[in-house]
């Protein structure tokens, strides 16, 4: 069966990574990259053309190509949301990627345009909205809901019966206790632990430990 052709919107590190995953572990074949005209700095990337996003439908037939917007949490995920909506307005269907090495329970649901990296555990009855990124190694507990346009980085623990509000960002090693509702537009810094419900637009920063200090210095002489 022929592979579906895919255009990656973006030319950053995430775009390079997304291309690698789609090509290696999906039924899509990446054929081009696209960026908005003011940010068009090169004509090709990894041997594929980089085209103006605004005129993408003139170069590629939307009926024959899908799009994935490989943009991280810029503008609290609003840039990725805007570009995905504009790609749909040009007539393109939005692609998703779920790693075959992620554990997504059979009755968990995902919206369109999601990217789920390896070693994510998505437990029973989880609901994940549209345009969500789950970077590698997260735990999404049973009966939890992640609303649209969220970015969950790595090694994040979302316990059971939680809700993550739209457009939120969860930094590395953030933790939500059971039955916690995170408001919309929340920003959780690395290592943040949330034990109770939060309002919309909240920013959380973990207490910083003492910086590492050199307690002893030892030099080893290597024989010639």
Tens digit of pLDDT for each residue in 135-145?
999 999 999 99
Q: Which CATH number fits domain 4-95: 3.40.50.20, 3.90.1150.10, 3.10.129.10, 3.30.200.20?
A: 3.40.50.20
Rounded to 5 degrees, what are φ and ψ at 178? -55, 145
What digits encode the pLDDT tens for the residues 190-199?
999 999 999 9
pLDDT attached to residue 55: 94
Q: How far apart are the first and last CA of the chain?
A: 59
Q: In whole angstroms, how far apart are CA 14 and each of 11, 135, 193? A: 8, 11, 27
Q: Point out which residues pair with 175 in neighbouring strands.
A: 157, 193
Q: Which of 64-68, 133-137, 209-213 has the lowest mean pLDDT?
A: 209-213
Q: Which residues contact 207 (CB under 8 A, 6 or more apart)?
A: none
pLDDT (0 to 100) of residue 209:
66
Q: What is the pTM of this model?
A: 0.92
Spatial CA neighbour of 73 closest among 197, 187, 193: 187
Could you tell me the pLDDT band of residue 211, with boundaries at 50, 70 and 90? low
**Which pLDDT score, from 0 to 100, does residue 223 have?**
53
Domain extents for the chain?
A: 4-95, 97-201
Q: Per CATH, the architecture of 97-201 is what?
A: 3 Solenoid (2.160)
CA distance 93 to 106: 24
């Amino acid at each position: 069966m022929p592979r579906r052709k895919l255009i990656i919107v973006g030319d950053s590190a995430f775009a390079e990574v997304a291309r690698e995953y789609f090509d290696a572990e999906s039924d899509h074949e990446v054929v081009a990259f696209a960026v908005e005209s003011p940010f068009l700095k090169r004509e090709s990337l990894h041997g594929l053309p980089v085209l103006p996003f605004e005129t993408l439908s003139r170069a590629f037939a939307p009926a024959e190509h899908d799009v994935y917007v490989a943009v991280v949490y810029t503008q609290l995920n609003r840039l990725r949301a805007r570009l995905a909506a504009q790609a749909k307005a040009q007539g393109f269907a939005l692609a998703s990627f779920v790693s075959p090495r992620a554990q997504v329970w059979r009755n968990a649901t995902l919206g369109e345009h999601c990217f789920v990296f390896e070693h994510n555990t998505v437990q029973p009855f989880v609901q994940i909205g549209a345009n969500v990124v789950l970077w590698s190694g997260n735990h999404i507990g049973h009966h939890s809901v992640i609303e649209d346009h969220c970015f969950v980085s790595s090694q994040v623990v979302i316990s059971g019966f939680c809700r993550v509000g739209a457009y939120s960002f969860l930094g590395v090693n953030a933790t939500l206790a059971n039955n916690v509702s995170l408001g919309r537009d929340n920003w959780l810094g690395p290592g943040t632990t949330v034990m109770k419900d939060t309002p919309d637009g909240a920013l959380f920063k973990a207490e910083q430990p003492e910086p590492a200090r050199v307690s002893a210095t030892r030099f080893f002489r290597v024989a010639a």
